[in-house]
Structure 1
Amino acid sequence: MPSKLIRKQPRPSQRQDILKTAKNLKMARSAHAYVRGSTLRFYDWLNEVKSTSLPEGPAIWICGDCHIGNLGPVANSDGKIEIQIRDFDQTVIGNPSHDLIRLALSLAMAARSSDLPGVITAKLMEVLVQGYESAFLAEADAKVGKKPKSVRVALKSAHRRTWQELARERVEGKTVRIPLGKRFWPASKHERQVIGELFQEADAQELVTSLRHRSDYAKVKMLDTAYWMKGCSSLGFLRFAVLLDAGGQAVEQSDLCLFDIKEAVTAAAPRYRNASMPRDNAERVVEGARQLAPHLGMRMKAARVLDKPVFMRELLPQDLKLEIDHVSEAEAIRAARYLARVVGLAHAQQMDEPTKAAWSAELARHRSRTLEVPSWLWSSVVDLVASHERAYLEHCRRYALAEQPIEF
């Protein structure tokens, strides 16, 4: 049955039904969007495929959900910006080939959404492997080709963005409040109390004062908080935006501090059985982020809110995600090579030289003599594209035709 239109701000008890509908509609927008929101289908496939059919990499931290939208410009505490992995909900110690397959699937579906011919998908897989393997060479610090336009645009925007611009997007003018509406919903009295108490704890205050040259002794005060409807696969879990004043200086928007608090759930990504990881999901996410993307990981802390593990970080104006939905053939090829290299560098920085050499040899061992694309990667992407295309059409039939847009 069609969902009812919600014209008032939803109460906490109404969130789950609305979020479920929003997620289903978001996944129905395109096959590429469906891939981003259907991580469990990807993990089910990984668990069913024979482990011997994939190269077995070293036990390192992997993203676990390495699609295009989870890479982008990230700033460190000193303002230096790099393209890195930026989402770690599914991070585990596992097989690095899983990240490569997930990225390849994402690129293949983006190519399909852009109506690019199938031969381009084959080319994407070829340059993706080249870009990834280049991260393990002696000259890994050298540039690999021209940055794709999407990356250049994102980096340019990141370098230019100021806190005032971020504030205009997230803060309601002179009232110093988070604007309630489509994305931000009212937090309950209890939620506000718990989050306010969180930022009085020493660990949270240390994180607040660690950025933007704030005084270590600055008093932290919560100005406002709201439930945040953000993401796709994570819709339905706790997510809060928090406005803070550090040191009583929030007289202008440039002095405000905006934090993101997100629930850390059990990772569904396959992991190596003997891997030693933090049992607490929030600590797992933070550790994975520090290993794969230090710019972001060093700005994160694990905590608990409403008896659930959460991780939190201050949002910086430079933190953006890549948007690669409709691209040309040349742009798609450049993006595949460049983004694969980013993932390769994230993996390589966790390995010593012998481990890098062994992993490079393992990748070469699985390369076919007749195809430029490794057979394991090509067959994986073909299987996954076929299954996701079928599932996407069925998803559209079940949800996109039945649901009505939600209004606020």
Structure 2
Amino acid sequence: MMDVVREIRSFNQGRDPDRLTLKYRNMRASPFVFLRGTCHLFYDRLAGIGAPRSAPLTWVCGDLHLENFGSYKGDNRLVYFDINDFDEAALAPASWDLIRFLTSLWVGAESLSVESREARRLCEVFIESYATALGAGKAYWVERDTAQGLVRVLLDGLRERQRSQFLASRTDLKGRRRVLRTDGKKALPASDQQRAMALQVIQEFAAAQANPKFYEVLDVARRIAGTGSLGVDRYAILVTGKGSPDGNYVLDLKQALPSSLVPHLKVAQPKWRSEAHRVVALQRRVQAVSMAFLQPVVVGRVPYVLRALQPAEDRVALGGKSAQSASDLEGVITEMAKLLAWAQLRSAGREGSDIADALIDFGQRSKWRARVLDASIECAGQVRRDWSTYAAAYDDGAYSS
């Protein structure tokens, strides 16, 4: 029998203690946040539960859930809504992303004010929408002109969001010079050693760029973001950009760790130059248009993913203080299902993934659908049990040191 408490502590060993404390506290909040923070545990469990064996191999996100879709500005300057987290990406059965997303719907139902019967219906909507889009065999994308419902509301709202407003939310002005705000909400102070490391990365990267002055570093902080990656080596880096004070840019530098899926996969993975090269290559492969500034960098032997933080980055507001109608929620779920299908079609036939014809055939078949739904129900029950074990241990002080 798995020792959940020991497994979580072991997996997170060596992480930044300040941000790891935040991660453990956040995971105590609900089974959904716990799911987001324990991707490794999910796949440990899925290996015992099993998934449909007939699913074709595809490039999966690996950590697909309700909050890993969002808006961003592509390198063509247009704003898109798409899957936006590829830390766990790998070559795996297509059903793995399906099961993880459906599990997030089950365990996130309470925060969405959705009862069990409605959660099941939304899961069935997701499966049907995914299968229909996959079976059609054509990869599309979601931008402002093609978005609908709450996704359209999100993308329309970004029209008025200015860089100066974005900078004001993350920095403080000292005269005409900005510094990163380190109030424990989005960032924490960096040590001299950490600042020097980040500076070295950006200087080496800038030297190969057409406009190196754009990347002149003004400030460095430890970034607070996400749930699963909290405690991983990660920095917010303020650079001159297009000029101070309101033309500054904020970069995100995040250590890339091995995918939690790979230990459970029997299929051979490509020999990536580094984990950062894996993350970036698969993000570029799967997204319709790549995010601006996305680059792999390696410092010594430590791989990092470098990208820009953007005013255009956001998520559809679901649950909490945001009330949405059943039709609005169904619309978002439908869009997410289509995006998953299009991502798999877009990356078909690459370095071991099955060709589009195999994916189309899978989408048009029906036997796997009930098995995927059943597996997600079993996974969701296990997540709730594991969270209960974790919550009790957390309350007893098991994660206080």
Same fold, TM-score > 0.5, yes or no = yes
**What letter matches 1:361 in structure 2?**
D
Pairs within 5 Å for 1:203-352: 203-206=205-208, 216=211, 218=213, 220-246=215-241, 250-253=243-246, 255-270=247-262, 271=265, 273-297=267-291, 299-305=293-299, 307-326=301-320, 327-351=324-348
Counterparts of 1:3-402 in structure 2 under 5 Å? 16-50=16-50, 53-58=52-57, 60-136=58-134, 137=136, 141=140, 147-149=148-150, 151-174=151-174, 175-182=177-184, 183-201=186-204, 203-206=205-208, 216=211, 218=213, 220-246=215-241, 250-253=243-246, 255-270=247-262, 271=265, 273-297=267-291, 299-305=293-299, 307-326=301-320, 327-351=324-348, 355-367=355-367, 374-400=369-395, 402=397
Amino acid across the alignment from 1:55: S
- Report the AA paired with residue 154 of structure 1: L
- 8 Å CA contact 2:141, 2:342 repeated in 1: no
Deviates more, 1:180-189 or 1:296-305: 296-305
1:112-144 CA distance string (max 9 Å, x none): 33342222122112211222123331566499x
* Contact in 1 for aligned 2:113/2:319 (Cα 8 Å): no
- One-letter identity of the residue aligned with 2:334: R
Separation in 2 of the partners of 1:331 and 1:224? 41
Q: 1:399 to 1:154 in 2, by over 3 A?
A: farther
Q: Percent identity?
A: 22
- Kept in 2, the 8 Å contact 1:290–1:296? The answer is yes
The change in CA–CA distance for 1:55 and 1:205 in structure 2 (over 3 A counts) is farther
Amino acid at match of 2:54: P
1:164 is paired with a residue whose SS is helix
Say if 1:277 and 1:161 are closer, same or farther in 2 by CA, change over 3 A.
Answer: farther
| Paired AA for residue 62 in structure 1 | V
CA contact (8 A) 1:74 1:320 kept: yes
Q: Do the aligned partners of residues 274 and 404 (structure 1) sit closer, same or farther apart at CA in structure 2, a change above 3 Å counting?
A: closer
State the 1:322 CA deviation: 3.4
Contact 1:171–1:179 (CA<8 Å) still a contact in 2? yes
Q: CA deviation at 1:67?
A: 0.9
Q: CA–CA distance in 1 between the matches of 2:365 and 2:348?
A: 19
Determine the C-alpha separation between the residues in 1 that align with 2:222 and 2:256.
15
- Supply the AA of the counterpart residue of 2:256: A
**Tell me, which stretches of 5 or more residues in structure 1 are unaligned?**
1-13, 210-215, 369-373
Inter-partner Cα distance in structure 2 for 1:261 and 1:347? 27
Q: Does the CA-based 8 Å contact 2:154-2:316 persist in structure 1?
A: yes
Cα deviation, residue 39, structure 1: 0.9
Pair 1:220–1:361, CA change in 2 (3 A): closer
CA distance in 2, matches of 1:102, 1:298: 28
Structure 1, 272-281 or 223-232: larger mean CA deviation: 272-281
Aligned-partner Cα distance in 1 for 2:116–2:384: 14
Closer, same or farther in 2 for the Cα pair 1:88/1:395, shift >3 Å? same
* Alpha-carbon distance in 1 for matches of 2:31, 2:152: 25
SS at match of 2:376: helix
SS of residue matched to 1:181:
coil
Q: Which residue number corresponds to residue 371 of structure 1?
A: none
Gaps of 5+ in 2: 1-13
Instruction: Report the TM-score, using the length of structure 2 for normalisation.
Output: 0.83
Cα pair 1:128 1:340 within 8 Å, conserved: yes
Q: Residues 193 and 18 of structure 1: is their aligned pair in 2 closer, same or farther, counting only changes over 3 Å?
A: closer
Q: Quote the offset at 1:294 in angstroms.
A: 4.8
1:181-237 deviation line (CA, Å, top 9, x unaligned): 113222121222222122222x44556x6xxxxxx4646311110111221111111
8 Å Cα contact 2:79-2:312 kept in structure 1: yes
Per-residue deviation at 1:152?
3.1
TM-score by length of 1: 0.82
Taking the aligned partners of 1:400 and 1:331, their CA distance within structure 2 comes to 37
Of residues 355-364 and 229-238 in structure 1, the stretch that sits farther from structure 2 once superposed is 355-364
8 Å CA contact 1:263, 1:311 repeated in 2:
yes
CA contact (8 A) 1:265 1:281 kept: yes
Preserved contact between residue 224 and residue 244 of structure 1 (Cα < 8 Å): yes
Indicate the RMSD between aligned Cα atoms, in angstroms: 2.8
Q: 1:312 is paired with a residue of what secondary structure?
A: strand
Regions of 4+ moved over 6 Å: none
Post-superposition offset of 1:269: 1.6
Q: 1:115 to 1:220 in 2, by over 3 A?
A: closer
Q: Distance in 2 between matches of 1:180 and 1:161?
A: 23
